[in-house]
């Protein structure tokens, strides 16, 4: 089998296609969740906690050249080493929110999938040949 035909067989398997669809849907869903966090949840968190903004939390690790403003964007533009831990906090919050949303979705999907357990079925009927063999056995025992 040639490499090309092996690759074709691999690429058109259902699992690979399902995975590709999952990755594409996941990427789109990630954008939706990013928007949810940035545009809806973080502003509410900011209102509750007094306009808390994690993105501007940083520690300057190098010397700041003269004339460069002490803002994260300007320091990065001037190539000053900066430990931007606020950005990490924001991404960690996004992850927790994303994980919670996925958990709630899976929980709802599992709840919708649950159906009433079917009543246990009656024992299947014994096949006719087995019944006949039992009758023959019983008649031979009686002799």
- pLDDT tens for each residue of 6-51: 877 777 776 777 788 888 888 888 888 778 777 887 778 777 876 5
pTM of the model: 0.49
Residue 105 phi, psi (nearest 5): -65, -45
Residue 127 phi, psi (nearest 5): -60, 150
**pLDDT-based confidence at residue 1 (cuts at 50, 70, 90):** low
pLDDT in the model for residue 81: 92
Distance CA 102, CA 108 (A): 10
Which is nearest to 63 in space by CA: 85, 78, 53?
A: 78
Summarised one tens digit per residue, pLDDT across range 75-114 is 888 988 999 888 888 788 778 877 887 788 888 888 887 7
At residue 53, does pLDDT exceed 70? no
Residue 82 contacts residue 61 (beta carbons within 8 Å)? yes
Which is nearest to 54 in space by CA: 9, 22, 20, 85?
A: 85
Distance CA 11, CA 20 (A): 10
pLDDT in the model for residue 119: 65
**What's the mean pLDDT when you consider all of the chain?**
81
Alpha-carbon separation of residue 136 from 126, 127, 140 (angstroms): 15, 15, 6
In terms of Cβ atoms closer than 10 Å to its own Cβ (0-12, 13-18, 19+), residue 37 is buried
Summarised one tens digit per residue, pLDDT across range 62-78 is 888 888 888 888 888 89
Cα angle 98, 47, 42 (rounded to 5 degrees) comes to 20
More confident residue, 53 or 103: 103
């Amino acid at each position: 089998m040639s490499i090309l035909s092996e690759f074709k067989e691999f690429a058109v398997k259902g699992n690979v296609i399902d995975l590709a669809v999952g990755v594409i849907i996941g990427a789109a869903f990630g954008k939706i969740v990013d928007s949810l966090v940035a545009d809806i949840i973080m502003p509410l968190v900011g209102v509750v906690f007094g306009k808390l903004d994690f993105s501007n939390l940083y520690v300057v690790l190098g010397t700041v050249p003269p004339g460069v403003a002490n803002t994260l964007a300007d320091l990065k533009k001037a190539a000053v080493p900066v430990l931007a831990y606020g950005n990490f906090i924001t991404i960690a919050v996004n992850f927790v929110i994303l994980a919670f949303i996925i958990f709630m979705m899976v929980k709802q999907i599992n709840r919708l999938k649950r159906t009433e357990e079917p009543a246990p079925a009656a024992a299947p009927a014994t096949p006719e040949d087995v019944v006949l063999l039992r009758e023959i056995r019983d008649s031979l025992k009686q002799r």
